[in-house]
Homo-oligomer: A and B are copies of this chain.
Amino acid sequence: MEKGKKPAGIKDVARALGISIATVDRAFHDRPGVNPKTRARVLAMAQKLNYRPNLAARNLKLNRRLSIAVYLPEHIHSFFTPLLEGVRSAADGVFGVEIDVDYRTYPRMGEGDLALLESIPDGRFDGVIFTPGDPAKSEPAINRLSRSGTAMVCVASDAPHSERMTAVSVDAYVSGALAAELLGRTIPRSSSVAMITGELHVLDHAEKLRGFAANLALLAPHLSLLPVVESHESAQEALRQTRSLLKRNPEVAGIYVSTANSLPVLRVLEEQQLLGKVQVLCTDLFAELIPLLESGRILATLYQRPFAQGKTAFEILLRYLVEQVRPEHATRLAPHTVFRSNLPLFADRVRSKARAATSAARGA
């Protein structure tokens, strides 16, 4: 490497030791039929010559075709479409190894995800990227596949007690904490704030609540947290619950919506003419949010970077499959805080995705 010559190949190692390349190959791969002493000499010489296997040659010879499954929900569209896009982008950028990707979708988390996982035969795929809906129920399928040698990678959510290899998501606790700090900095007077979340048995939502509550107490003691509203990702329920919340607490000064399903909440605020008066903090970014951010009617949104999540999930999986690099137990990305001023940097991508989706729909 220092002298910048061509890298040593397997035959250089063989020649240096006066043995055949077959023996060197066996030594490298821990295949039987090599004297332990010889193996040690080979490994030492490989170290000395800085031997690096030529992946191109290996892949050519083995004709390795990696098989990867990517099973994601369609809902929420604004989140999982760019996430899939991120996976695709990472998959398209690969050269030197052939990859078959089996993309599949199901309506929403909890609706068909389990059946899809269970339908995967042992050993069919080298790796699976998926979003566990109900961690507890998915565990048996995850563990079975994991034990059969399939690398299981959670994305956007997690099943931390399962034997999945790793998980990629936004740090949910920090998202909640950030929401607390932002509301605390923005609302000067002593008042009360609300949190509207998704189903709390989804780990992410529970973590956001934990982060929000803890940091509200720590960083914004002048704000008191109203009983949390668990909206179950249903639009009608969210509408009803938000109305009831505002009726019971007309003095609420800030609202943190920790799910991407924030439109019902915003609609209620608009009909009660509270948009702009109540400080609203949303989650994720989609077309409808853009004008609200631009006009200052909502304070900010915590963007969960779906594209980046998909991209890194695929990169990590590929790295493991090709180079045996075992990833961290989990990768937690930092959410982006999107205000009005930095919105253009994110809006472009969101808008172009929305355009692409509608034009694709027209085409179909």
Copies in the complex: 2
Task: Check A4–B60 contact: CB distance below 8 A.
Answer: no
Known: A59-B56, A336-B336. A174 touches B96 (CB 8 A): no
- Name the distance in Å between A333's Cβ and chain B's nearest Cβ: 8
Q: In the complex the two chains form, what is the Cα distance from A188 to B185 in whole Å?
A: 10
Q: How many interface residues does A have (CB within 8 Å)?
A: 46
- A181 interface hit (Cβ, 8 Å): yes
Task: Check B56–A174 contact: CB distance below 8 A.
Answer: no
A136-172 vs B, Cβ < 8 Å mask (1 yes, 0 no): 0000000000000000000000000000000000010
A339: chain B residues within 8 A (beta carbon): 178, 181-182
- A33 interface hit (Cβ, 8 Å): no
- The one of B6, B95, B332, B342 that contacts A335, using a Cβ cutoff of 8 Å: B342
Closest 10 CB pairs of A and B: A96-B96, A177-B341, A56-B59, A181-B341, A56-B60, A55-B95, A334-B345, A56-B56, A178-B341, A174-B342
- Where the two chains meet, the residues of A that have a C-beta atom closer than 8 Å to any C-beta of B are 4, 6-7, 54-57, 59-60, 63, 65, 93, 95-98, 100, 171, 174, 177-178, 180-182, 185-186, 188, 211, 215, 219, 315, 319, 322-323, 332, 334-337, 339-342, 344-346
